[in-house]
Amino acid sequence: MLFDTHCHVNLYPDVPRLIREIEEQAIEVSLVTTEPELFPDCVQLVAHAPHIHPALGLLPHEIHRLAPQVECFLEFLPQTRFVGEVGLDYVTEDDAERRLQRSVFERILSACAEAGDKIISIHSRRAADAVIERVGRNFPGTVILHWFSGSPKNVTSAENCYFSVNPAMIKSRSGKKLIRAMDPAFILTETDGPFVEVAGRPARPSDIRQVINFFSRDWGCSHAEAEARVAANAIRAGLG
């Protein structure tokens, strides 16, 4: 049983084929969205695809355009357990922009905490400390740090957070170092397709098998055993 906890299904050039592929292979996929207003269309898109779960998102790196949609986010939130992608992106050095990102993210987190059962895929580029601090140690719900690129020290401080590992991370030296700092009981898988590429084409959920392969070598177990361990994590996280 494979899980792709962060895939932009609606952004592929061949959406109907991709949906068919996911359903045929019975991969559990979280369809993460970039802005709240797109959520209803994504719900429609996968209405007949029981393995694909639409998530409600608001991208931090487009905060000036998207901040007004936070009301829309809060309105749709009761419709789904899946949230993402949301978070902070400190590639910008503009203080006002970072402040606006934080205020939106804090509203999102507190609404999710109040609900208590959300599964949240979080973006934290150059903002690992700020994200981990806001999530806290005992967030009510499931927190998944997606494509994590903080430090190994951040990994240890992110107690009770899951990490979703994608095919790009297993290829980079820094990615592998981070993966090895993670508690294997908190590891999940993702593609972040179509943004992550595999062999020069957009990653597809079936490429999760490459990540499982990496774990099986790293953990010294069979492919089936590595797949079962990750699936057990996903089920504990509420994904299965």
Binding site for Zn ion (CB under 5 A): 85, 192
- Rounded least distance, CB 67 to Zn ion, Å: 19
Task: For Zn ion, give the closer residue by CB, 61 or 176.
Answer: 61
* CA 190 – CA 165 distance, rounded (Å): 6
Q: Which is nearer to Zn ion, 142 or 191 (CB)?
A: 191
Least Cβ distance, residue 208 to Zn ion (angstroms): 15
Q: Which is nearer to Zn ion, 127 or 226 (CB)?
A: 127
Question: In the complex, what is the shortest distance from the CB of residue 87 to Zn ion, in angstroms, rounded to a whole number?
Answer: 10
**Closer by beta carbon to Zn ion, 85 or else 207:** 85
Beta carbons of 221 and 179 less than 8 angstroms apart: no
- Write down the least CB distance from residue 202 to Zn ion, Å: 12
Cα Rg, the chain, nearest whole Å: 17
Minimum distance from residue 193 beta carbon to Zn ion (Å) = 9
Closer to Zn ion by CB, 11 or 72: give it: 11
Long-range pairs of 197-203 with CB within 8 A, sequence gap ≥ 24: 197/168, 198/167, 202/12, 203/166, 203/167, 203/168
Find the shortest distance in angstroms from Cβ 35 to Zn ion: 12
* 3-state class (DSSP) for residue 189: strand
* The token pair that represents 128 in the structure block: 């690992």
Sign, CA dihedral 39-44-50-52, equals: negative
Phi-psi group of 18: left, alpha or beta (phi > 0 → left; psi -120 to 50 → alpha; rest → beta): alpha
CB 123 within 8 A of CB 89: yes
Q: Which is nearer to Zn ion, 4 or 192 (CB)?
A: 192
Candidates 155, 161, 156, 154; CA nearest to 138 is 161
User: Closest by alpha carbon to 25, among 187, 204, 213?
Assistant: 204
Q: How far is the CB of 188 from Zn ion (least distance, A)?
A: 14
Q: Which is nearer to Zn ion, 34 or 157 (CB)?
A: 34
Q: Please name which of 73, 143, 77 lies closest in space to residue 115, comparing C-alpha atoms.
A: 77
Residue sitting closest to Zn ion (CB) = 192
